[in-house]
Amino acid sequence: MDYAGDLALWTDTVKKTPGNPRAHNNLAEALGREGRLPEANAHLREAIRLMPTLTASWYNLGINLARSGDLPEAAQHFRAALELEPGYTLARMNLANVMFMTGDVSGAIIQYRLVVREAPDLAGAWANLGLALIRTGDYAEARQSFSRALALDPENGTARRFLREPGRQG
């Protein structure tokens, strides 16, 4: 077979080895890039069924669910990824983002603090922490977070906007 891309490769691989959880995960990633989230999610659920310890499938399903607006279920999948791999910084960052979007600001702050401890050079995490701190009224610490984000990434629009508007209350 002549593989024109990842989608064709992984479709054929899953067809030939339907019990391969990594093949389902990789096919799901290819389907997700095509915007075919329901199909992708079905393959991710199958990958999880076949291998419940495959952290990437839990994380990828969380991403797809968040993209499609199912934030509570997305959070469950990010938590599952973190149970399997506590140092999975991207899963923690996305969990914090989902918590923030669903109104659990204090929970998001806890997660963002863990992210910046795990990955202190991640400018986006510092900026997001700043946004969450603004929601609690902690403008001084928010300013510090935005300053750290800007030091790491001078083009970080969130940090630039909020440092330029110190009285802004988000």
Mean residue pLDDT of the chain comes to: 94
Asked if the model's pLDDT at residue 75 lies above 50, the reply is yes
Predicted confidence at residue 46, as pLDDT, reads: 98
What is the rounded distance in angstroms from the CA atom of residue 9 to the CA atom of residue 140? 52
Domains of the chain: 1-85 (1.25.40.10), 87-170 (1.25.40.10)
Asked if the model's pLDDT at residue 166 lies above 80, the reply is no
pLDDT 10s digits, 31-41: 999 999 999 99
Asked if the model's pLDDT at residue 168 lies above 50, the reply is no
Helix axes 123-136, 89-101, angle to 10 degrees: 30
Average of per-residue pLDDT across 65-71? 96
In the block, residue with structure tokens 């990824």? 81
Predicted confidence at residue 3, as pLDDT, reads: 46
Of the pLDDT bands very low, low, confident and very high (cuts 50, 70, 90), residue 100 is: very high
pLDDT 10s digits, 76-87: 999 999 999 999
Predicted confidence at residue 4, as pLDDT, reads: 62
Stronger pLDDT, 168 or 73, i.e. the higher one: 73
Which spans in the chain are helix H? Answer: 6-16, 21-33, 37-50, 55-67, 71-84, 89-101, 105-118, 123-136, 139-152, 157-164
Q: Classify the C-alpha dihedral 130-132-135-140 as positive or negative.
A: negative
Q: How far is CA 17 from CA 76, 81, 117, 151, 169, in A?
A: 29, 25, 41, 48, 54
Please give the model's pTM, rounded to 2 decimal places: 0.90
107 alpha-carbon distance from chain centroid = 15
Q: Classify the C-alpha dihedral 158-112-167-140 as positive or negative.
A: negative
Of the pLDDT bands very low, low, confident and very high (cuts 50, 70, 90), residue 156 is: very high
Burial of residue 144, with CB atoms counted within 10 A of its CB: 0-12 exposed, 13-18 middle, 19 or more buried = middle
Predicted confidence at residue 165, as pLDDT, reads: 57
